[in-house]
Amino acid sequence: MVQRQRLVDDFVALCRINSPPKQEAEVIESVLPRLRKLGLEVQRDNAGRHIGGNADNVIARLPANVPDAPAVFFSAHFDTVEPNPDVRIIVEDDLIHTDGSSILGADDKAGLASLLEAIECIVENRLPHGEIWLLLSVAEEIGLLGAKHLPLECVNATMGFVLDTGPPVGKVVVGAPTHDHLTVRVVGRAAHAGAAPEQGISAIVAASRAIARMKLGRVDEETTANIGSFHGGQATNVVCPEVEIRAEARSHNTQKLEAQLAHIIACFREEAEAMGAQVEIETSRHYEAYRLSEDAPVVQIARESALALGLPYETRLAGGGSDANVYNAKGIPTVVLSTGMDLVHTHNERCRISDLEKTALWVLEIVKQVAQQSLP
């Protein structure tokens, strides 16, 4: 039923379109005519205006031909982690990759291509299905911005499936952490480093002493923390008056996350105070954690569908976020399904054609399982 060559051609064509965050207009315009031709009702929201991008989220609906079946949504994102305007794609045997000079874009065009192929199969074969929604987002890679502005209240779905993690196909992400970001400014006092260093207060030293005290990396089984960037100073003959640090913390446990943030903040404040420096700290939340149980209907559907296809089903907790964090926070139970994307966010990124096929078949099996819930 899945047409392998069509799927490969679609995936390669999508990957050839440069679509970094906030610049997804071209790839969206390539997808919309196909959705409309298949009979989906298509609309766009105003996400682009809110986030400063050139494109909006796409919300598409395929009306049910099994009226009593539960409504579900499938989701993928249009943007890639970095630009790849001159991508050189190599297809050899079962593997698709680049020449190593850029990312491939399989994150998340593997999910998008497999989803489009599944919808194509549903329509052309007139398969039984409930109401199906497609939520295709922008700017996922820079903080789930598109999903945060998607008007989910207009989507009539009882559960959701996000196609946005790596192999093996059959893996289901049932939980992800809360992610908080910190921007820290340590302000000392400038002085000539040779003539009067004792008159200065080094922001670099104060910040470094704070960081040296911190619990970072893998804090515990549920919590991580990282100093991502450290900027400041102008010349070696000036006691550095100011630095800016960007950091993050993540945890599947909100109390642990709050404790880790308090620890980081206390380290900066105490070391700054000890040296007579000042510190300014801003925190922001990128997304909220979620955790679904094995008996949640959306997990059961994902499991039964995977097992029906003979896929190696397993559940996992993610260390990072996805649009599923937003959809769960907005009240629709959502899991993340594995796809063919592998070694993502690197120039070694690749995708197996067989995994693209398995992902499309998994979507079809989920649609089938959902439709059967209302059949006698």
- Give catalytic residues, as residue numbers: 79, 140
- Closest by CA to 2, choosing from 114, 93, 108, 96, is 114
8 A C-beta contact, residue 249 and residue 257: yes
Tokens matching residue 108: 């998340």
Report the C-alpha gap between 347 and 87 in whole angstroms. Answer: 10
- Alpha carbon of 126 to those of 64, 68, 256: distances in Å? 11, 17, 50
- Closest by CA to 101, choosing from 343, 350, 345, 348, is 348
Report the C-alpha gap between 339 and 322 in whole angstroms. Answer: 14
Report the C-alpha gap between 179 and 214 in whole angstroms. Answer: 18
Q: Is 308 exposed, middle or buried (0-12, 13-18, 19+ CB in 10 A)?
A: middle
Tokens 């989906």 locate to 40
Q: Please tell me what DSSP assigns to residue 141.
A: G
What is the residue-wise DSSP string for 187-218? Answer: E-B--BTTT-GGG-B-HHHHHHHHHHHS--EE
Helix (H) or strand (E) holding 182: strand 178-187
Report the C-alpha gap between 72 and 157 in whole angstroms. Answer: 5
8 A C-beta contact, residue 78 and residue 28: yes
